[in-house]
């Protein structure tokens, strides 16, 4: 992490932001307000430490993105914009220092559309990053809301890839025990995002935006049948903003491979398609695949399929030849 945060960060960090409190040379506490959130190690911000782990687990190139808790969508727009710029500069710096090991995705202050559009343009044109990462909802507003149309329009114009990661999971306050917000809430959030973009007509209005979704698309692959059935039997409720079938959009977007289970991966291939699955790791957190690509390596797939899953599909999504 760069040595100095913006001057305002210390002033406003205690209330509005997730902030870091270093207490060991290689560790930091993540605080949300005055409450402990989680402890992280230096591989969250130090590229050399990441490269050590990458070498141990046979990862040639890693795509860097912001930890979702640092999206800071709840902050005042100018403060959210300042932190986004700071984080994006840091990721771009890591890529510049190690161009053969890292690619990067930027983050945007999605609570302010004009600022988000401006920062996306800076991310792609000035920082030379191929895409951005956003949350599955923005302060509980679904991604199909018309207020976000300028962002999707700009992404199409810039050929900017968009990675959607679950955060601020709906209903979390009712299922706090057993880690259920992370185990159940996150897959539901990702399905919420995909379904909103389908039914809300975003895929139809902005067909060239390259969306990808975390954690194998969450619950979406297992619920596509239910979504289609609802569309068929209650079009008065489901087809009010888009008259195209949910199945029409299968193969339209990418997902990562992080499903932890062979049967789930088989379903992913059947529903999403083998050319739309990218190797995901969720590194360096506990719910990630600690040896990225291990599940793929264990599957009964041929070499051409492995190449798709481990690298080619991700490069296609990012628009990199």
Q: Is the pLDDT of residue 17 over 50?
A: no
The radius of gyration computed from the CA coordinates of the chain, to the nearest angstrom, equals 19
Residue bearing the bigger pLDDT, 4 or 95: 95
Alpha helices in the chain (DSSP H): 7-16, 47-56, 77-97, 113-121, 149-158, 180, 186-199, 202-205, 220-233, 235-238, 262-272, 294-298, 303-307, 313-318
Kindly state whether residue 16 falls inside one of the protein's structural domains: no
Is 221 part of a structural domain of the chain? yes
| pLDDT at position 11 over 70 | no
Instruction: List pLDDT tens digits, range 228-248.
Output: 999 999 999 999 999 999 999
Could you give the percent of the chain with pLDDT greater than 90?
Answer: 82
In this predicted structure, the answer to whether residue 5 has a pLDDT above a threshold of 50 is no
Q: Is residue 115 in a domain?
A: yes
- The position carrying tokens 């960060």 is 9
37 within a domain of the structure (yes/no): no
Q: What is the rounded distance in angstroms from the CA atom of residue 165 to the CA atom of residue 217?
A: 9
Query: Which pLDDT score, from 0 to 100, does residue 25 have?
Result: 56
Q: Is residue 79 part of a domain?
A: yes
Q: Do the domain assignments include residue 75?
A: yes
> What percent of the chain lies above the pLDDT cut of 70?
91
Any domain includes 77: yes
pLDDT tens-digit profile of 32-69? 667 777 888 889 889 999 999 999 999 999 999 999 99
Confidence class of residue 24 from pLDDT cuts 50, 70 and 90? low
Q: How confident is the model at residue 73 (pLDDT cuts 50, 70, 90)?
A: very high
From residue 275, alpha-carbon distances to 130, 261, 279 in Å are 19, 19, 12
Pairing label, strands 27-32, 18-24: antiparallel
Mean pLDDT of the chain: 91
255-270 per-position pLDDT tens digit: 999 999 999 999 999 9
- Output the pLDDT for position 22: 45
**Residues 154 and 117: beta-carbon distance below 8 Å:** yes
Nearest CA among 169, 78, 165, 76 for reference residue 118? 78
* 3-state DSSP assignment of residue 123: helix
Cα dihedral: 13, 133, 117, 243 (round 10) = -130
Instruction: Tell me if 118 is assigned to some domain.
Output: yes
Closest C-alpha among 219, 222, 230, 271 to residue 250: 271
**pLDDT at 19 > cutoff 60:** no
User: Parallel, antiparallel, or unpaired: how do β-strands 277-278 and 35-41 relate?
Assistant: unpaired
For residue 297, what is the domain's CATH number? Answer: 3.20.20.140
The pLDDT assigned to 33 comes to: 61
Write the CB contacts of 159 (distance below 8 Å, at least 6 apart in sequence): 124, 208, 210, 319
pTM: 0.92
Q: Where are the alpha helices (DSSP H) in 58-145?
A: 77-97, 113-121
Per-residue pLDDT of 142-190, as tens digits, reads 999 999 999 999 999 999 999 999 999 999 889 989 999 999 999 999 9
Q: Which residue has the higher pLDDT, 20 or 176?
A: 176
The number of folded domains in the chain is 1
Instruction: Return the residue matching tokens 């991604």.
Output: 143
- Where do we find the tokens 């070498």? 55
Q: State which residues form the domain around 69.
A: 43-318
């Amino acid at each position: 992490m760069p040595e100095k945060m913006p001057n305002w960060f210390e002033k406003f960090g205690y209330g509005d932001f997730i902030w870091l409190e270093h207490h060991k040379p290689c560790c930091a506490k993540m605080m949300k307000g005055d409450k402990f959130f989680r402890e992280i190690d230096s591989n969250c911000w130090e590229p050399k430490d990441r490269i050590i782990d990458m070498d141990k687990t046979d990862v040639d190139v890693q795509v860097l993105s912001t930890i979702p808790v640092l999206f800071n969508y709840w902050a005042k727009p100018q403060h959210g914009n300042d932190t986004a710029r700071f984080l994006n500069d840091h990721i771009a710096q890591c890529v510049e220092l190690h161009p053969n090991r890292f690619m990067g995705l930027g983050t945007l202050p999605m609570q302010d559309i004009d600022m988000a559009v401006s920062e996306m343009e800076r991310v792609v044109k000035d920082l030379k990053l191929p895409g951005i990462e956003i949350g599955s909802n923005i302060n509980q507003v679904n991604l199909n809301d018309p207020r976000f149309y300028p962002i999707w329009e700009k992404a199409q114009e810039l050929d900017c890839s968009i990675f959607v990661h679950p955060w601020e999971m709906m209903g979390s306050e009712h299922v706090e025990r057993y880690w259920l917000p992370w185990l159940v809430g996150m897959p539901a959030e990702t399905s919420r995002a995909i379904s909103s973009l389908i039914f809300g007509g975003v895929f139809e209005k902005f067909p060239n935006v390259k969306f990808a979704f975390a954690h194998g698309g969450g619950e979406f692959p297992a619920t596509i049948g239910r979504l289609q059935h609802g569309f068929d039997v209650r079009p008065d409720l489901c087809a009010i903003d888009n008259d195209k079938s949910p199945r029409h959009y299968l193969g339209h977007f990418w997902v990562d491979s992080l499903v932890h289970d062979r049967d789930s991966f088989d379903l992913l291939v059947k529903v999403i398609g083998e050319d739309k699955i990218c190797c995901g790791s969720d590194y360096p957190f506990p719910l990630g695949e600690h040896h990225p690509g291990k599940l793929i390596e264990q599957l009964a797939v041929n070499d051409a399929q492995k190449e798709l899953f481990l690298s080619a599909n991700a490069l296609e999504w990012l628009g990199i030849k």
